[in-house]
Structures are given as structure tokens and as C-alpha cells.
Amino acid sequence: MNKDYYKTLGVSKSASKDEIKKAFYKLAHEYHPDKAGGNEAKFKEASEAYNTLSDDKKRSQYDNFGSGFQGNAGGQYQGGFGGFDASQGFDFSGFQNGQGFEFDLGDIFGDFFGGGGGGRGRAKAKKGRDISVDLNLTFAESIFGVKKSIFLTKTSKCSECGGSGSRKGTEQVTCPTCNGRGKIKEVRKSFFGTFATERVCDECLGAGNVPKEKCPKCHGAGILQKEDEIEVNIPADVNTGESIRLTGAGESVKGGSSGDLYIKLHIEKSNLFVKEGKNLITELNIKMTDAVLGGNYKMATLDGEIELKIPEGTSPEDVLRIRGKGVPYGNSQRGDILVKIKIKTPSRLSGKAKKIFEDLKKEGL
């Protein structure tokens, strides 16, 4: 029965070698027999198709004569990888002298065998857990910036040994578990045969040496749970929802780097101001007479109380500008305070006041 290898791999007859390789890579991951949900039959079909289409000579013969063409040794082609036998593991003899796969098996099956065949997998550097905390600021603190202290109970480097795990004044010795290599070689048996892999030594965590005498405070762990005081400088002009990252201020882990601390900011609302860019917006209610004749009003700012002059003939919704009292920015520069004028209209008038307004009305004012 003639087999459609192109259909098996899901590629067109004009597919390039790279496309064929990628198609097989995908199917090998999906149908690998050692993987949960794998399918040995489909895996063997994909292997057979790849072994043929990845070889220029075999592919040419297949395109001309179909899957029943004669193999390299003059015998009938049996499909699959050279010497494939599910009961005997995987025979690599068919890959010598440039035959068979053109890429490293470790690239395809690394996730099944702990980092790739032949010990090529690299251990990922350890990093401590990141921490996220919330921090409340007053409106003024968010405008000008502030230094805050945060108290956290977390896993930190031991202050006694500095994270080494050794008693002060003692030396480190060669790790007896890995003999100073920092790695442990393991041999695993799988569907494909025997694979050698390497992993980081659990005893020395890749350092190759261990404490001769353990630190009495952390008992050689190099880390311990304790409360730390962390100082953080909050910059000027921050907003609710923004986060500040302190690199290395998260939890520590022996043999690796510390995680990070993320501080999420929450700003209290101000009863006086709303921030708009680098300016602060506020409202001021003045008397009608002061709007007409002018006057002076005491007004609170983030820098303290000031006296604001109301010019004659001020109208409702006029905006008065107080320069240099807004949000700090750049090199000692600051935005402004913008004061929106609201005029209070009297609800009751004396007879004399009413007579004055009636006269003004007659004059068209």
C-alpha cells in the first residue's frame, strides 16, 4: 500500500527541508510515546515519513516510485528510523555518516528527559520569590516625594554569615556529593534508550563547595525568615496604581539571587486640589462685592497659607494663576496652581442693598 508521507507530516509536495523538519518536530512532541496522551503508531508513521522526506535521494525515489521503493542497501525499505524497535529501545546506527536526523535529538525531546540528551541542558539560575506590597501616601507626599520605611517578614540572607552558610572564620570544603563539580550526572532509561543528563547538585546548589562548619544562626542554610526594614525613596509626582520596583529586595534563595519587591502606590484624595499634569486645580468662592471691587483672600497651598489678590471686575469661572506652587519637575521647576473663581450670590438682600442693585439695573449693569 502506497503511503502519503506528505499528508502524514501535513506539508505540501513542494515543502522545503526546513518545513519538513518543523512539521516532524511538532508531531514528535504531540505523539511521543513517553508523553501522556502519546500515540506510538502515529509517532512511528511520522518518523518513517521524516526519514524519507528529509533525505534528498530517498525523497526523489519516493516522489517517483512511492513508498515501495528500494532502500539504501538494496532491500525493501521498512520505514521509521534505522533499526527502530519499540521493544529494544532506539538504535542510533542509522544516523551515522550524516544519515537520518539533521538536528539534535535533545532539541526535540529535552522536555521529556530533563533538559536534553547527552547532558546538554543548562540549569536555570535560581531566583527568590518576588514580593508585592501596597503603600498609602498622602496627596502632598505624592506631589513632593517622600522617604518611607516598610517592615516585611520574609526569607532573607542570614546576617551572621552573609548567605554563605558557614560559621564565621571557617572555610568551605569540596562538596562530597558532586566532588566539587556542582553538577550531578544521571542516566535515565526511556523509550528511545539510555540518556545521560546533568542537573545542579542539591547539596551545594552548583557552587562545588559546602561549609566545613555550619553557621549557628541559619544552620548552614544561608537564609532565614526574619523581619526586615526596607527604606524606599518615593519620587515626586507619582499616581495611584503606579509601582516602584526595588531589585533584590524580595525573598532570598540559597545559591541564587534575591527576588524583587514591587510597591504599589495608593494616593489619598485631596479636599483642596486636583492634579492636572504639572498644575494643581482648585476653586475659590468669593463675595460678589469682591468680584466687582477686588479684594484679598487667604488661601491654603501645599507650601502653606498665602494671600491671593482678587482683581476688580472678576467674573465667574475666571481662572487666577499662582505661579510656582504646583507639581515639582525638572531642575527645581514647578507647575502652577490654577484657581477657578466662584461668586457667591446673596439669597437675601436688605432694602438698602436691593435699592442699589435696582439702580444698577436701570443703568444696564
Q: Does the pLDDT of residue 121 top 70, yes or no?
A: no
pLDDT of residue 112: 47
Q: Does the pLDDT of residue 98 top 50, yes or no?
A: no
- Say if residues 7 and 15 touch (Cβ distance below 8 Å): no
Calculate the average pLDDT of the chain. Answer: 80
Alpha-carbon gap, residue 173 to 162, rounded angstroms = 17
**Range picked from 24-33, 175-184, 265-274 for highest mean pLDDT:** 265-274
Query: For residue 85, what are the β-bridge partners?
Result: 89
- This prediction's pTM: 0.56
- Three-state DSSP class for 155? strand
pLDDT of residue 201: 84
CA gyration radius, the chain: 39
Domains within the chain, CATH numbers bracketed = 5-103 (1.10.287.110), 131-267 (2.10.230.10), 274-362 (2.60.260.20)
Of 343, 325, 345, which is closest to residue 335 (Cα–Cα)? 325
Q: Does the pLDDT of residue 208 top 90, yes or no?
A: no
What percentage of the chain exceeds 90 in pLDDT? 34
pLDDT of residue 191: 59
pLDDT of residue 236: 94
Q: Does the pLDDT of residue 232 top 70, yes or no?
A: yes
Phi first, then psi: give them for residue 29, nearest 5 degrees. Answer: -65, -40
pLDDT of residue 165: 86
**Range picked from 112-121, 122-131, 182-191, 244-253 for highest mean pLDDT:** 244-253
Of 301, 302, 322, 300, which is closest to residue 310 (Cα–Cα)? 322
pLDDT of residue 32: 79
Higher pLDDT, 47 or 123: 47
Q: Does the pLDDT of residue 177 top 90, yes or no?
A: no
Q: Does the pLDDT of residue 197 top 70, yes or no?
A: yes
